[in-house]
Structure formats: C-alpha cells, structure tokens
Amino acid sequence: MTEARPTLVICGNGASAVALLHALAIRSRGALDIFVIGDGELGHGLAYATRHPDHRLNAPASRMSIDPDAPGHFVQWLTSRDLWSDDWPDQFVSRIHYGRYLADVAQAAAARPHLAVRFVRGEIVSLTRNRDGWRVAHRTGQIDADFVVLATGNDMPSPLAPRLDPAVRGLVVDNPWTLPPMRADERVLILGTGLTAIDTLLSLSGRDRRHDITLLSRHGLLPQPHVPPQPMPPLPGPFPRTALAMLLAFRDAVRASPGNWQDLMDAMRPHWPKVWREMPLAEQRRFLRHAATMWNMHRHRLPPQSAQRVRYLLAGGARILTGRLTKVESAGPAAAVTIRGRAGEMRLQVDRIVNCMGPNTDPAKSHNRLIENIVASLQARTAPPGVGLDVTADSRVIAYDGAAHLGLFAMGALTRGTWWEITAVPEIARQAGRIAECLLSQEKGRSGRNGQVQGEDAHSMRHFL
C-alpha cells in the first residue's frame, strides 16, 4: 500500500514563500506535495511587483541571495541573464530584476522531481482545523493539508479613506503600489517619508510630470543613504536591555570608531533577535513608540542613486513637512488639509493624498482576510509587543490560549514581534531554512502531529536564529 504524500500549503507567493520553497527543494529527499497560493505575480509580492526602473533594491546585489549557503546566487543569476557588470556585487539593481529572479528560483524548485508543486493564483479566505490537519479555503476551491506556512509578507497601510467624508474619499490612494493615472499638474500630498514614500515620489517625478509634491510625517526624517561600508565590530556583550541604553551605547560606539551608524547596524544584524528577546516587554513597547522611526531610518537605507534623485527633487520644488494630518475637507474638486506641527497649524489644498504611512503591524487589524480570520477565530494571537503574530522558537503559530500549533508556521514580517530583525532577505532566507528543517523532521504519521504543545516549548527561543 502506497503511503500518502504529505501536503504543505504556503500562504503567499512573494519573497518569503519563494525562500521556503527553495529551502525545501534543496533539503527534501522524500516526496512532498506543495501548494503555493497568492494573489500577485509569483515571486513579486508588494516590493518586487514594481515596473518602475528607478525603484531599486535597498541592499547591494551581493547581499540579496535567496540561498544563505550560496551568497553569490543572485549575482550568478544576473550573469546568466546577460546582465553582467564587473561591479554587480556592489550595485543596487532594479527591483524588476529581483522579482524575475525570485520567479525563476520558484520555477527551478518546482522542477525538482521529488516535489509536486502547484502555484495557485488567488486569495486565501480561511484556514480551519480538521481531524487530520488543516483545510485551506481559497477563491476557487479548498485544500486539505498536513502543514501550513503563513508567508503573506507586509500588510497594507491602515486605510485612510474610510475615515473621511465621502466627498474626499476618491482623492485618497490607500494602496501606494497601484497609483492611478494622474494629471501632470496635480498637487500631491504623500503621507510618510519612509522607503515607500520615496518610491511614490520617484514614481510621480518623471520627466513629463510637474506634480507639486509634499511629503508629510511626524518627524520629517528620510531614510539615510547607503555609504561605502567600513568594517566595525558589534557592541560588546552583554547588550543593553533598555531602548535608551541601547541608543547611548550606539552613540558612544560610533564616536569611538571610524565607522558610522550604517556600519554598526550591519555589525549588529546577527544579534538583533537576541537584543530584542532580552528587552523587557515594557522596553520593547517603548522602543516601538519612541525609537522605531530612528532605527528604520538608519537600518533600511536608500540606494545611492535614489538618494541623489531625492536630493535633486527636493532642490527642485518637492518639500518635506513635519507634523500630523488633522483634518481633510472638501474644497470643490480638491481637498483642503490641515497639518499641525511645532509652529502651529497650516492648511494646504491638494488634488491627491497618497497613503505611505507604513504597513499595518497588528494582525488583529490586518487587511489580509486570512490573517484577520485566524486571529478572530482565536487560532492565533498578536505577539506581546503588539507587532506581528506570536510564534515559538521554531516559528510555530501560538493560539490565543497560549498553545502552539504543531502544523502551522509563520515567517517573515508576520514574526517581527518575536525576532524584530526579520524583514530583509538574508534573515528571511535563514528562517526559511530552519522552518524547512522543522517540517521535514516531523514524521507525518506521528500521533498529534497537528495538535498543540503547551508550556515552556511554546516560548522557548533555543537556537532558532
């Protein structure tokens, strides 16, 4: 009698999903059925679905391999596609190339003879337990699975339009990755000054456009540009356990070194999960309230080419305001917005408002129907800091009652509350490898394989990252 093949459903088809698929392809020796289900184009997700040539990776090509054991994997792909340049490893290449790279990696994994991989285009609407495992329902059908991995990536920004008067809702773009056609002379207010806001600024600033563009954020801070790196050691242990002490330690280390904040942030990358775990919960929340903006500004940097373009646009008329949007009112075909800053209130008339305020990080408020449903049904819960899903050391999802599912995993941005440094490709690729090893080590016929575990193992952080 032929033993049934185990079935895995990967929820999502962007970079995280491709990283897991690749990790399984190079580690698995036995037969495995895999369904990869996602809405967008395979391997592209939100970040790499762009078609704008000025949207570049915010890390050099040498750091963007989807295989942590083959650091040159992406550069080799560029070479094989006749995109070769002697300085590719140090270049911040177009995200168009990277989306194609991920799609090719996924297709190569699917070609492995021991894997039966099917790509399903559509939205997953629910996930429920059944006697033998999980039932995954999507728009055109349902799949019974032994294992499920949530790899849905970053959520959308919290929508602004539904909170506004109907007369101005049509002027708001809540999805900055799908900009509508705009007149060349429109006055545009971009909410946010992070990487997505910069993408939007670049998208709206072609040679044939004359948009009057204003960027607004509470701190008015842009991501720092990448600079030529210098080797720098990480902070010595034991690491500070408060947000303020960490900031002061960073300042002291940078002052005493020829390096800079970028070099120290790079040196600390392998240590951030430990730093984060050892911070008391109150300090994690304080960091999120007061220091996350500064951390993101130094950690998630602009490619040099993008930074140069932004400087040119700011010199040519685009501007940055510091403050909060407090009111949006109808002004005929336009909108009158009120901004409150340190100097008081000011009013602007704009034709369009683009929401680039960053992804929603609370799964309880997710705009992804699958994540919304599993939290509402108590199969998952928000991590204690209020960011991402609560997961164990091996990225198993923890239910509302504190029990960890044996057959349900989460990865990437969804696990940020546990690992913090888990949104960039190198960290996601390493996490994918560990999840793949965990999946492959589970015996399909083991009693209670898709049950739950209680107690210490649900929160142990041993040796995962």
pLDDT at 45: 82
Burial of 61 (0-12, 13-18, 19+ CB in 10 A): buried
pTM over cut 0.85: yes
Task: State how far the Cα of 461 lies from the Cα of 465, in Å rounded to an integer.
Answer: 8
Question: Which residues fall within 8 angstroms of residue 259, CB to CB, at 6 or more apart?
Answer: 230, 231, 232
Q: Which of 125, 81, 178 is nearest to 372 (CA)?
A: 125
Task: Please identify which residue in the block is written with the tokens 């999507």.
Answer: 138
For tokens 């070194």, what's the residue?
A: 257
| Neighbouring C-beta atoms of residue 416, cutoff 10 Å | 20
Going along the chain from its start, the domains and CATH numbers come out as 7-156+360-458 (3.50.50.60), 161-223+301-355 (3.50.50.60), 243-299 (no CATH)
Q: What is the pLDDT of residue 356?
A: 95
Q: How high is the pLDDT of residue 314?
A: 92
Segments in the chain below pLDDT 50: 1-2, 443-465
The pLDDT value recorded for residue 83 is 67
Write down the pLDDT at residue 184: 85
CA separation for the pair 428, 266 (Å, rounded): 16
